[in-house]
């Protein structure tokens, strides 16, 4: 009976996987940046296209909070753009941004979803689909 061969992972693949899971830019996993939170403490209606601008810098900031404020200074950026620029998952940026909005350091200047509008849109889509049948 032969022993099963162990799989060997090329070093470049294991390095890429390691960078993916450690938050390559910071050397820490994303959940550490949010102190373990998976959702914002308060719901400000932040979505991918919500535009954020800097209002004022509060006292002591984490390096990530400081980076968000620097990127949003002088220009409005969406959550998606911030996530791309910072190399972090969208949910991490939503949590950081919500924290800064709550502290008065960021303002939401762009799209905020209107729950009533969403229901109206879904109703219109449903009527349209029924008319197709």
Complete DSSP assignment for 33-51: HTTT-SS-SS-----TT-E
Which of 20-24, 57-61, 75-79, 113-117 has the largest mean confidence? 75-79
For residue 85 the two structure tokens come to: 């620029």
Write down the pTM of the prediction: 0.57
Predicted local confidence at residue 129, as pLDDT: 92
For residue 54 the two structure tokens come to: 């800097």
As beta bridge partners, residue 77 has 52
User: How many angstroms separate the first and last alpha carbons of the chain?
Assistant: 63
DSSP strand pairing (51-54 vs 106-108): antiparallel
| Residue 30 to residue 14: CA distance in whole angstroms | 19
Beta-sheet strands, E only, within 1-133: 51-54, 77-78, 106-108
The confidence band for 23, taking pLDDT boundaries of 50, 70 and 90, is very low
pLDDT digits (tens, 9 = 90+) for 71-98: 988 888 999 999 999 898 888 899 889 9
- Stretch among 43-47, 103-107, 111-115, 121-125 having the lowest mean pLDDT: 111-115
Predicted local confidence at residue 30, as pLDDT: 66
Q: 98 versus 14: which is more confidently predicted? A: 98
Q: 132's torsion region: left (phi>0), alpha (psi -120 to 50) or beta?
A: alpha
Whether 111 and 49 have beta carbons less than 8 Å apart is answered as yes
Q: What is the mean pLDDT of the chain?
A: 74
| Residue 6 to residue 99: CA distance in whole angstroms | 46
The confidence band for 4, taking pLDDT boundaries of 50, 70 and 90, is very low
């Amino acid at each position: 009976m032969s022993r099963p061969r162990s799989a060997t992972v090329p070093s470049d693949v294991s390095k890429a996987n390691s960078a993916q899971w450690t938050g390559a830019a910071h050397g820490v996993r994303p959940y550490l940046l949010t102190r373990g939170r998976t959702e914002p403490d308060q719901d400000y209606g932040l979505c991918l296209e919500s535009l954020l601008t800097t209002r004022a810098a509060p006292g002591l900031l984490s390096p990530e909070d400081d980076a968000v404020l620097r990127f949003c200074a002088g220009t409005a950026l969406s959550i998606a753009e911030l996530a791309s620029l910072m190399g972090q998952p969208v949910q991490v940026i939503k949590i950081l941004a919500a924290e800064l909005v709550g502290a008065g350091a960021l303002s939401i200047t762009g799209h905020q979803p209107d729950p009533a509008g969403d229901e109206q849109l879904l109703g219109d889509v449903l009527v349209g689909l029924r008319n197709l049948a």
